[in-house]
Amino acid sequence: MWLKDSSVGRKFVMAISGTALVLFLLFHGCMNLALVFSEEAYNTICRLLGANWYAVLGSMLIALLVLVHFCYGIYLTILNRRARGNDRYAVSGKKEGVTWESENMLVLGLVVFFFLVLHLYNFWFKMQFAELTGIHTGAFDPQDGAAYVNALFTTPVCGQIYCVLYLIWFCVLWLHLNHGVGSAMTSMGLNNETWQPRVKVISTVVATLVILPFTIVVLYYFGMGIGALL
């Protein structure tokens, strides 16, 4: 199977799964943004995406994408380290135009993944999972997403720490996407001499667009939390 056996095939899988995840994040971000305007609207969306078959299917698909992206990332890194050989360079110079994030995608990816687990525990476990299984693990109604968000980010001190952690997560994600989006485009063949600088810009813009709504929401609650403290 060329998607597993050829290097460009593997890159293509990374690119496609990554792109799909980016699209999901864009949707997720827009959904979150609703919180800032109306908790009611947000909860409506939460209800829509509760235990319905399409939401469950969507979740499973996303989980599959994450798994594929994660496994391929690990697999590629193992292959690439092996290709590098046993002797490492004693001195490694800074290469012009090569970004730090592009050389550390696995590390960034792992950090993103670690936060993802935390995030799932914070929300998905208490919401969709609880709804599906009927095991109530949280203090609120699984369909009352806004309440969970509120509780996590505004509870004094603990909430603020969560805010900071989430902001760090977004930064890491931004770095990951800042290389990832452009890289995915190149891997899918969507690049050329003229578009090279443009692809770089697109990559940064998309990365920023993805984290922007999330950041706004977190900052909004951070502000609320701080306001309440004062």
Partner 1 sequence: MDGYINIKVRVWRQAGPKAQGHFETYELKNIFQGASFLEMIDILNEQLIAEHKAPIAFDHDCREGICGMCSMYVNGHPHGPDSAITTCQLHMRKFHDGETITVEPWRSRAFPVIKDLMVDRLAYDKIMQAGGFVSVNTGGVPDANAIPIPKPKADEAMDAASCIGCGACAAACKNGSAMLFVAAKVSQLALLPQGKIEAKQRAKNMLAKMDELGFGNCTNTGACAAECPKQVSLAHIARLNREFLAAKFSD
Q: Which residues of the chain form contacts with partner 1 (CB under 8 A)?
A: 2, 5-12, 76, 79-80, 82-99, 102-103, 105, 179, 182-183, 185-193, 195-196
Q: To the nearest whole angstrom, how small is the minimum distance from the Cβ of residue 100 to partner 1?
A: 10
Q: By C-beta, is 59 or 77 nearer to partner 1?
A: 77
The residues, any chain, with a CB within 8 Å of residue 131's CB and separated by 6 or more, are 50, 51, 142, 143
In angstroms, the CA 82 to CA 21 distance is 28
Q: Using only C-alpha atoms, what is the Rg of the chain?
A: 20
Q: To the nearest whole angstrom, how small is the minimum distance from the Cβ of residue 124 to partner 1?
A: 30
Q: By C-beta, is 156 or 189 nearer to partner 1?
A: 189
Q: By C-beta, is 52 or 80 nearer to partner 1?
A: 80
Q: By C-beta, is 100 or 114 nearer to partner 1?
A: 100
Q: To the nearest whole angstrom, how small is the minimum distance from the Cβ of residue 8 to partner 1?
A: 5
Handedness of CA 195, 14, 66, 153 (dihedral sign): negative
Query: Is 156:225 a contact under the CB 8 Å cutoff?
Result: yes
The residues, any chain, with a CB within 8 Å of residue 105's CB and separated by 6 or more, are 73, 176, 179, 180, 183
Q: By C-beta, is 37 or 95 nearer to partner 1?
A: 95
Measured in residues, the chain has a length of 230
The closest alpha carbon to 73, from 5, 13, 25, belongs to 13
Q: To the nearest whole angstrom, how small is the minimum distance from the Cβ of residue 21 to partner 1?
A: 17
In angstroms, the CA 210 to CA 31 distance is 12
Q: To the nearest whole angstrom, how small is the minimum distance from the Cβ of residue 82 to partner 1?
A: 7
Q: By C-beta, is 46 or 112 nearer to partner 1?
A: 112
CA contacts within 13 A on the Cβ side of 41: 9
Q: To the nearest whole angstrom, how small is the minimum distance from the Cβ of residue 75 to partner 1?
A: 9
Place of tokens 């998309």: 206
